[in-house]
Structure 1
Amino acid sequence: MVKLSSTENGFRIIIPTDLIQYKKGQSRNYLSEQEHPVLEIKINKLEIEIIRNRISSIILQDELIQHYNNMTKLHTNELHIYTDGSLNLNSVDGYNQIIMGAGWIVKNTEIDFTCGITYFPSSTRSELLAILTALLTVPINNNMHIYTDSQSAIDSINNMLQLR
């Protein structure tokens, strides 16, 4: 029997482990139904699992999860988010890689986000990163309006949607 239990922060899968032999060489000696030990696997909310799965940086994951948590506390189901990406060919890191910036703000809140990326410099790439990180932090049941000044980013998203 497998049980799925809902918690405040997500779900837990509870699996009885009565089929596990506790001592090597011992015959199967099962515990009574009330004494079954359980193996607990914690599953976070879907939004958090997606952030952890798609973002490789632990620091960035934690920041995006914090923004997600802040957005769940807002008393609105409609968010207006303004995104922006930047490319400055004179901004380089210690390895002489060009640093691009990405960020967004949520209208009428104190919620904002910025980050930087390197490799394959493109203003469209930085704008798409801003849009992606904003999408990752909005709770699933919320309506979201994204405002961007990048027609190239809009075209890229539309092209990806048409490939589906």
Structure 2
Amino acid sequence: MDCLISIPHDQRDDNIWINRWIRPSDDKDHLIEIKDSLNSVDELSFYTDGSVQNGIPSHLRQRLDDCLDYRSMVINQGAAFVEISSNLQFFTRIVNWPSSTRAELFAILLALLVCPRDCRVKIYTDSNCSISTITRFLRSRSKFCSRGFNNSLILIYIGILIRDRNLDLELIKVKAHAGDPWNELADELAKKGAVLSTYHQLTFNFGSQACRFSPHFENTLIEQKLRNFLSTMGTV
């Protein structure tokens, strides 16, 4: 897949994208440990999955026992990957703009974050929508702002990783709940991630000639198609 994104940075910092996009946490340290353990590998195969659940994280349940209306509104999202040759695993919770596709895309982004340079990467996912979205994005002309895409920042970061690390990415569709043990494991991990007390939230921290700003609403990055978001706000 061709991707024309190029961001100036220090090539000597092999963990630059984890350091730039993932906030300091135990999860960040775990990602770096996984990446370091895979640095000498030239071919990797991941199963990725996302989970979207109604409810609230376990650490908030007692605090919100009397808020029945609020409880019904909260949606938990989890993302996970497992690398099949090493059985290295990672799962986390994500926030904002809940959808199954967003959770799946985030899981793919996490897998790419731990890939070394010049690596051939196979990603197995049961999300056909994620595969088609990434494919359309990488073939689009505007790979920075991508105003025609939901989950734009995740897609931009996927594009940066492919370009910067010269990854040979192959996205492979697998059937959900068909007894594939690796896919079932990824599904289980994503569900665990959805109820964690900590979470990841991407930040927009670069600019280019094509994209000098990113719209926010109440300090939250708008990752929906902007026209659709404004139309929705106009009906509230």
TM-score (norm 2): 0.46
Deviations 1:81-104 (A, max 9, x none): 1101111123x2338532111101
Deviations 1:7-40 (A, max 9, x none): xxxxxxxxxxxxxxxxxxxxxxxxxxxxxxxxxx
Q: What is the match of residue 104 of structure 2?
A: 127
Determine the C-alpha separation between the residues in 2 that align with 1:83 and 1:48: 21
Q: What is the match of residue 36 of structure 2?
A: 69
Matches within 5 A, 1:1-164: 45-55=12-22, 57-59=23-25, 60-73=27-40, 76-90=41-55, 92-93=56-57, 94=60, 96=71, 97-164=74-141
Moved over 2 A (4+): 43-47, 93-97
Determine the C-alpha separation between the residues in 2 that align with 1:153 and 1:159: 10
Q: Sequence identity, in percent?
A: 34
Q: Structure 1: which 5+ residue stretches go unaligned?
A: 1-42
Letter of the structure 1 residue corresponding to residue 36 of structure 2 = N
Whether the 8 Å CA contact 1:47–1:137 is kept in 2: the answer is: no
More strand by share: 1
Determine the C-alpha separation between the residues in 1 that align with 2:93 and 2:11: 27
Whether the 8 Å CA contact 1:100–1:126 is kept in 2: the answer is: yes
Pairwise CA distance, 1:45 = 4.0
Deviations 1:106-149 (A, max 9, x none): 11213111011122210100000100010010001221101100
Whether the 8 Å CA contact 1:82–1:104 is kept in 2: the answer is: yes
TM-score (norm 1): 0.65
Pairwise CA distance, 1:46 = 4.1
Whether the 8 Å CA contact 1:84–1:102 is kept in 2: the answer is: yes
Q: Structure 2: which 5+ residue stretches go unaligned?
A: 1-9, 65-70, 142-236
Letter of the structure 2 residue corresponding to residue 87 of structure 1 = V
